[in-house]
Amino acid sequence: MSRLRLSVIAVGASATGFVAAPAWAATVEVASRIASVTVYPDAASVTRMTEIDLPAGATSLVFRGLPIGLDPASLRVEGSAQAGLAIGSVEARNAPTSGKPADTGIEIKLKQLRFEREGWQSTLDALEAKKAMILRFGQSGPEKLSPESAPLDIGRWSSAWDAVGQGLAKVGDDLRAARGSLRDLDDQIAALEQARQRPNPRGGAARDVVVELDAAEATKGRLTLTYRVQGASWRPLYDVRLDTGKAGSKPTLELVRRASVTQRTGEDWSGVDLELSTVRTIRGTRAPDLQPLQMMFPEPPVIYSRPRTMAAPAPGAADLQRSEAMKAEAQPAPAAPFVPAQENEAVAVSGAYQASFRVPGKIEVPADGAAKTFRIGSRTLSPELSVHATPVLDATAFLSARFTQEDDAPLLPGQVSIQRDGIFVGQGRIGFVAPGDSAELGFGADDKVKVTRVPVRRKENEPTWLGSTKVETREFRTTVRNLHDFPVKVAIFDRVPISENSAIVIETLPATTPPTGKTVDDKRGVMSWRLDLAPGEARDIRLAYRMKWPADRDVDFVENPVRQR
């Protein structure tokens, strides 16, 4: 028999958008499995497979219990069979839900615990009443405790006190035991109720997908159902290890790329082929439409109060430490040496407009939102080292390494765990780096480069008459000293104020050391000086500027940050 392969694209989720199945079509529920998943930074594409014996004629295949978050427009069906097979309509329906909760083991246990708690509560109420009666009798006085309500003989007072004390002690012990049992039962009930309220990804709302087929004769068929679903994502993580090298050797930088995958799609991914893609599927398909811009006088603004929110700290990556070689114990016969374990690494597949990474092996990713991390690439690079300092804010000198992205796949923005010479120095962040572009990362303080910044002069000219101009002159000296026994490259960053108002004039004075870069990263007023310092060499950098503004006006200095790409 000939084998045929067909495919169909879903055209929507509304029942009115499909060709109705014939009244005689057989309805068959199919058991399918997830074969492969492609995870994007903002969604996932899931491919299910099924094999089925199809009768001749029309058949309605039903894939039950699929995630409610699947996009009906993304449904794709492909198939092959040993005889003629036609794929008709594809429909996504909301699966009916039962309002009656299942009588699970948790519900049965809760009923037992609540029944037991009612018994202990009755015991506790009886003990409380007994204690109250003993206290009431004890407060009546010994002279009223005789059976005839006559004063009790003074010789029997001691016996009465002992009886009241023993009764209270016994009741107290019983009360403590009853209260302890109630607390234990309450804890068990609360734990079970919390477990019962935990969302069950397979027990909530779901979708059914119905595929209409028409077979020329009874045949065996294979179908794949692909759909995009929200609730899944991956984010890049990086491990960067810098080896500064010894005397005479060049530094090396190892860049390890990782991916952290999480998903709450409503279905577990068990034993699937996993691929990670850089395509952003929910970002849109074209550039935004630009509308005309109208200039007008502003209306008084309406001010709304907004609650203050705290940015969620990005989750931090684990501190990776190199394992030491294990020493074999002395044995009469030599034992086989231990071989360092190798970490599985994804295979990169680059295209003209995207890159993807195929994770080796069959992967398990549960739908509980737990992050699963995979190594997807690594490369050893030759960095260019330099020392950076911003003494106007912090006199500390920081070691920096610049490198070029040599892979075909870009580096996506993400968190970086940084090691220098085998020591974890902290975490940083890297922006988007296209293939062929360069990036720069900091690797902690360099204590052998000393930087100091001191004010040299500050002169203010007070106005002498109304309408005059106030003038202020400032000058600073920054000293950089290299205490290494080898030459270093140093970059010093400083700034002068800027003004958007023509009434405020700021000028740089000739005493300023000419900067290497007059503008850094498109930030006006921020300058840099790059120096090559020999061992033990010190260099001074001067910065002087003058500010002028009307004497009858006050001025403020406000930082105006430039958004980084």
pLDDT at 419 over 70: yes
pLDDT one-digit tens code per residue, 207-217: 899 999 888 89
pLDDT of residue 140: 59
As a whole number of angstroms, the distance between CA 44 and CA 228 comes to 6
Cα distances from 82 to residues 3, 55, 217, 231, 321, in angstroms, run 5, 12, 10, 37, 56
As a whole number of angstroms, the distance between CA 47 and CA 66 comes to 12
DSSP H or E stretch at residue 171: helix 157-197
Look over the chain and give the mean of its residue pLDDT values, rounded to a whole number.
Answer: 80
pTM of the model: 0.62
DSSP tag of 139: T
pLDDT one-digit tens code per residue, 197-247: 554 445 567 889 999 988 889 889 899 999 999 899 999 999 999 999 876
Contact 476, 456 (CB under 8 A): yes
Contact 37, 44 (CB under 8 A): yes
Would you list the domain boundaries of the chain?
Answer: 4-97+204-230, 105-197, 449-550
pLDDT of residue 285: 66
Q: For residue 437, what pLDDT band results from cuts at 50, 70 and 90?
A: very high
Q: Which of 224, 219, 315, 234 is nearest to 276 (CA)?
A: 234
pLDDT one-digit tens code per residue, 321-332: 444 444 444 455
pLDDT of residue 25: 64
Q: Average of pLDDT values for 142-165?
A: 61
pLDDT one-digit tens code per residue, 11-58: 333 333 333 445 456 788 888 999 999 999 989 999 999 998 888 889
Can you tell me whether residue 254 is helix, strand or coil? Answer: strand
Residue 79 — φ and ψ, nearest 5°? -155, 165
What tokens does 281 get?
């599927």
